[in-house]
Amino acid sequence: SELVVSFGEMLIDFVPTVAGVSLAEAPAFVKAPGGAPANVAIAVARLGGGAAFVGKLGDDEFGRMLAAILRDNGVDDGGVVFDAGARTALAFVTLRADGEREFMFYRNPSADMLLTHAELNVELIKRAAVFHYGSISLIAEPCRSAHLRAMEIAKEAGALLSYDPNLREALWPSREEARTKILSIWDHADIVKVSEVELEFLTGIDSVEDDVVMKLWRPTMKLLLVTLGDQGCKYYARDFRGAVPSYKVQQVDTTGAGDAFVGALLRRIVQDPSSLQDQKKLEEAIKFANACGAITATKKGAIPSLPTEVEVLKLMEMLEAWKYCDAVMLL
């Protein structure tokens, strides 16, 4: 199968209608559906791949809206359950004038945190070629146990496990607990992707040199990736390592770029799992993922910016041809 099953949270970000203000100064907010694991599922489906999402939503208008967004984008929502007593998670997010992102979460608890192992769609998880997850679902019970159980089911059924910790410090009781719990499942994943910020958080060292990244390497892994924003990414496999630069684009909003990157990479890996052992194929897959992340960074929001395969291939071709230009205006 080529199915990518993504597990975790789906929620609504409320984003100010004007840029560069604090949450308190924002005059109004617009809804921006998101949640990294949901974004990854939609990224895969946009690229023409099979994708499913597993998680819990509130049995409320927002929860039903999010489930409809999954279906409208071709994502199998057979793993979605609804909680009658808890609300769909909300987050107010702003990019302040000083460039810092400010988050305010409404999870007290929200429905996503209440998924139980008994509610898992086991048959769906067993069909996964890749089972992908983050770390937010590890924070609180009962979702934490459901997450661990789902990983076991997927692994036993032969899926590759893919992990993007997606650190949100504000959601954890302490930095120490975040680090410990994020690393507690480190040895289980076949594919791990971290950002520069997460690399520093987990190693305590502010550097992307190979010896620092290798502190996160495990012999159980097939691929470790460090994304570097407009610089592309570094990759580490068992027998080879390297770096793949991204494409130069006009950056507007990087929300979802990491998820687009992961979705695109997983799409390529399920199409040809030998990419994990073949450096040339892997670099091709990463180029495609970089392009997918780059395109997502040129548009506002996460889900609306996720490209189709034709869009990615067209842009790769165009940007290869124009690589001597300083910056290319997309759209």
- Footprint of ligand ATP (CB under 6 A): 195, 227-230, 232-233, 246-247, 249, 251, 254, 256-259, 261, 290, 293-294, 297
**Token output for 49:** 């791949």
Q: Give CA–CA dist 140/107, Å, rounded.
A: 11
> 51-58 and 76-83: which strand pairing?
parallel
Is 13 known to be catalytic? no
Q: How crowded is the C-beta side of 250, counted as CA atoms within 13 Å?
A: 7
CB of 142 vs ligand ATP, minimal distance in Å: 26
Of 63 and 236, nearer to ligand ATP (C-beta) is 236
Of 61 and 98, nearer to ligand ATP (C-beta) is 98
Q: Give CA–CA dist 65/81, Å, rounded.
A: 13
Of 146 and 294, nearer to ligand ATP (C-beta) is 294
Alpha helices, H only, the chain: 36-46, 61-72, 122-126, 143-156, 175-184, 196-203, 210-213, 257-271, 279-297, 309-321
**DSSP secondary structure letter of residue 299:** S
| Catalytic pick among 259, 272, 278, 326 | 259
**DSSP secondary structure letter of residue 101:** E
Phi, psi of 68 (to 5 degrees): -65, -35
Of 232 and 301, nearer to ligand ATP (C-beta) is 232
Question: Read out DSSP for 136-152?
Answer: GGGSSTTHHHHHHHHHH
Of 55 and 232, nearer to ligand ATP (C-beta) is 232
Q: Give CA–CA dist 182/201, Å, rounded.
A: 11
Amino acid at 84: A
Q: Report the catalytic residues.
A: 259
